[in-house]
Amino acid sequence: MPQARYKQVVDRIAADIRAGNIAPGTRLPTHRQLSAMKGIALVTATRVYAELEQMGLVSGERGRGTFVRESAVPDGHGADQHPVAPDMIDLTFNYGVLPQQSDHLRNALRQLAGGGEVETLLRYQPHEGRLHERRVITDYLASQGVNTSSEQVMIVSGAQHGLSLAVMSLLRPGDVIAVDALTYPGIKVVADAFRVELVPIPALDHGPDLSALNEICQARTVRALYVIPTLHNPLGWVLDLAQRKELVSIARKYDLCIIEDAAYAFLAENSPVPLAALAPERTVYVSGVSKSIATGLRVGFLSAPSEWVPAIRRSIRATTWNTPPVMTAIVCKWLTDGSIQWLEEEKRKDAEKRQAIARKALKGLNYKAHPASYFVWISLPQNVRADQLVMDLARQNISISTAEPFAVSKDVPHAIRLALGSVDLSLLPDALIKVRKAIEERALY
């Protein structure tokens, strides 16, 4: 059977890109120009570029055209992120550990080993966690502005697990979740796994465009709203009280379930009350200790309206049965003796130091960051492509994230996110200066 002509065009362009005959970053002819050059219909030219984009060879950018992608971009800078090579300076992930934390863990393990409940910790636990530990977490949540009951609190295996449980328990395949157009990549993974649709809410300077959210809810049957109101990842905003009240008003108007991600909220002092305090009847509040303590300590917690608890409990049983009790026991002890509160304060101080370094090193660039966050969002100059910048810095042993993992819509901005929390403080200034210089050099091309 002869090959369709447009397929021949696709194959020829793909072969030239893969052979290096068309260099990464090259602007391809417009759809109309390709139509004239190849003697094909305009709609067919559009189909050609669509197939090349699906193959990952080109990217179409509204208002700019179609460009050849840098095909040698390392794993982790596309749709999914993965750990980088050990010899790289890692500006993609935050997994910093303060020097004192190792001693804290050693002491906690000694005390646990000398205590009277070691045998108990070897057994199955209640799916949602032991009652006395849920009471400890309930008290901690109260200190964060979430007034809930221990019957509504469930202990889970990290905040990512908590997000998965919320979607798995409360939504069905095909349901729609409204999310920020740039958001935490973990929710994209969850949505893909459970076959729910993410609809992007455009971003304004200091939060989501709530007028656009209202229009989305008028046009679509939206079931849930995923939101990071306090220290947004990756844009760093903290929504003010008026914005939070408007979000709640929209959620009530359209009967939306709110999934509130508070993973980084501990870094933002004196922030307005959580959405869970404003709309307790429809909010699942999700957080954990991976950011405040260490990523290896996979203990998270969520609070939900009472009527949703049985469904979430069943999902915990289906996915993990229960959170490993040794880790839960350590976390609850640290919550009780004030260790986590101390660690949170130290992490805030550490983040502020790193942001001060970033402000100095990145001066002159268009970037957004909360003064106590562990990340920076940099919008690149119009002629600087993110994938090329990734390769420039990889050659200098620096790993960065493009906007792609964070983008929900197909219009991916040329921007990068720098994670500041995993690099030794002594190495951070030089690494960030190299990032700035690489951007400046690209801007001169």
The pLDDT, as a whole number, for residue 77 is 43
Cα torsion 210, 214, 220, 222: sign: positive
Which among 33, 21, 105 has a CA at the least distance from the CA of 340? 105
Query: CA angle, 375 as apex, 369 and 379 as ends, to 5°?
Result: 60
Burial class (CB in 10 A: 0-12, 13-18, 19+), 330: buried
Residues 6+ apart with CB under 8 A from 319: 161, 164, 165, 168
Which regions of the chain are under pLDDT 70?
A: 1-4, 70-86, 96-97, 116
The pLDDT, as a whole number, for residue 106 is 81
Q: Are the CB atoms for 168 and 191 separated by under 8 Å?
A: no
Edge-to-edge strand list for the sheet holding 197-201: 153-156, 300-303, 283-288, 257-261, 224-227, 176-180, 197-201
The pLDDT, as a whole number, for residue 79 is 41
Q: Are the CB atoms for 74 and 393 separated by under 8 Å?
A: no
Residue 43: what residue type? V
CA distances to 194, 310, 324, 332 from 320, in Å: 17, 15, 9, 19
pTM: 0.82
Residue 167: what residue type? V
Query: CA angle, 215 as apex, 63 and 197 as ends, to 5°?
Result: 75
Residues 6+ apart with CB under 8 A from 233: 183, 184, 261, 263, 264, 375
CA distances to 99, 140, 155, 234, 362 from 74, in Å: 31, 40, 36, 21, 24
Q: What is the β-pairing status of strands 224-227 and 176-180?
A: parallel
| pLDDT tens, residue by residue, 365-410 | 999 999 999 999 999 998 888 888 988 898 899 999 999 899 998 7
Q: How many CB atoms lie within 10 A of CB 186?
A: 18
